[in-house]
Amino acid sequence: MKPFIYLDNNATTPLDPRVLEAMLPYFREKFGNAASRNHRKGWEAEKAVDLAREQVAAMLNAGAKEIIWTSGATESNNIAIKGVAEMYKDKGRHIITQATEHKAVIDPCQYLEQHGFRITVLTPDRKGRINLDELASAIAEDTILVSIMFANNEIGTIQPISEIGGLCKGKGVLFHTDATQAFGKVPIDVEAMGIDLLSCSGHKIYGPKGVGALCVRRKKPRVRCAPVLHGGGHERGMRSGTLNVPGIVGLGWASEIARREMADDAVRIARLRDRLWQGLSERNEEIFRNGCADNVLANTLNVSFAYVEGESLMMGFENIAVSSGSACTSASLEPSYVLRALGVGDELAHSSIRFSLGRFNTAEEIEQTIGQVSATVQRLREMSPLFELAREGLGLKQTQAFSR
């Protein structure tokens, strides 16, 4: 049995053992409710939650009081978008977002569109970056919110966040960014970047699932969000519900570890990612890198392997975990809407594989991956009628290049 290689870290990451250690006491003896103000179990839990708030805030150069705990980035995005819409609807009913956002941003926007809001969806360029002039001209009198992700989950493209933040500040419009993929991977400074609301999640940074945060700025301006869940008024009234103390402790320590190790991790992981791309390009003709090669997360590589379909590729190297933009991997019959928004044709979108590396990957695993993926591509191309057609249209020299 070949060892299992996990290259799907943008989907979720394994829990860092150090994070698990920090969490365990809060499942056992430190079981208190952080809202219990009158006994030591409550104080213990509250102290842990306060430390975690500091730890997450430190990653963002935010204040601890600006961190709202949620169940994950989907909830954070919902509170940010629907909460701001509800709170500021008398000021305006226009929201701007862009086409390659996660569904947790697109769907709340579509929901608001059905409830009397106007939504502008910007189209990114071929690399996945939005055009700042288009954003500037899309901002209208009644615009209340711009929601643009920090980095994309499928292609890793990083948006020009500081520029977007500056633009929004200049126009007096709130700026929300879904930083699920960027948090813990690149430096984030909500103050310097002009971010008013930021969503993040625990399980993308070697923390637990089921916990996330929304950073809601308290100054320049003081942002207010109507709650999505109504209840006991926890989290400054923005998110009611007893706090998930072990999860919050986990997110806090995952942030703390990321803050200390992020710079070294990024260098090491980028080297592995570049080696993966180099190795795949040397061994396979007609493969294409989707997205951006410069403004991109260190861990993400999205590649289309012409003439072979993504799901069959993944089946061919079943001990390697990756994702595909192929329709066959989803319930719908459409290939990745992110790649389509970039102008990647449907045929190449069906042929795409996302490799997302992480803290625990090794150079040996990357070499294994290059070998196994290339062997599978070759095998499937031999049985691909599209490859046969393409080869018939090519000269002898190129045909030999393929069969080496």
Partner 1 sequence: MAYSDKVLDHFNHPRNIGVLDKNDPNVGTGVVGAPECGDVMKLQIKVDADNRIVDAKFKTFGCGSAIASSSLATEWIKGKTVDQALEIRNTDIVRELALPPVKIHCSVLAEDAIRAAIQDIKEKQTASAEAATGSLSES
Q: How far is the CB of 314 from partner 1 (least distance, A)?
A: 9
Omega prior to 221 cis, within 30 of 0: yes
Point out the catalytic residue in the list 168, 215, 292, 328.
328
- 335 binds partner 1 per the rule CB under 8 A: yes
Q: At 233, which helix (H) or strand (E)? A: none
In this structure, what token pair is assigned to residue 48? 């842990």
Helices (H), 172-293: 190-193, 245-283
- 11 binds partner 1 per the rule CB under 8 A: no
Binding letters toward partner 1, positions 252-291, x by CB under 8 A: ----------------------------------------
- 396 binds partner 1 per the rule CB under 8 A: no
- 231 binds partner 1 per the rule CB under 8 A: no
Please provide the size of the chain in residues.
Answer: 404
User: Within a 13 Å sphere around the CA of 133, how many CA atoms are in the beta-carbon half?
Assistant: 1
Q: Does residue 357 contact residue 365 with C-beta atoms inside 8 Å?
A: no
**Which of 68-76, 173-181, 294-302, 377-385 is the region at the interface with partner 1 (rule: CB under 8 A)?**
377-385
How far is 374 from 143, CA to CA, in rounded Å? 49
| 200 belongs to the catalytic site | no
3-state DSSP assignment of residue 328: helix
3-state DSSP assignment of residue 147: strand
Q: How far is the CB of 221 from partner 1 (least distance, A)?
A: 47
Q: How far is the CB of 201 from partner 1 (least distance, A)?
A: 25
> Restricting to residues 302-331, which ones interact with partner 1 according to CB under 8 A?
307-309, 311-312, 315-316, 326-328, 331
- 382 binds partner 1 per the rule CB under 8 A: yes
Q: How far is the CB of 227 from partner 1 (least distance, A)?
A: 37
Nearest to 74, CA basis, from 106, 49, 99, 100 = 106
Residues with a known catalytic role: 328
Q: Which residues are near partner 1 by CB under 8 A?
A: 307-309, 311-312, 315-316, 326-328, 331, 333, 335, 345-347, 350, 382-388
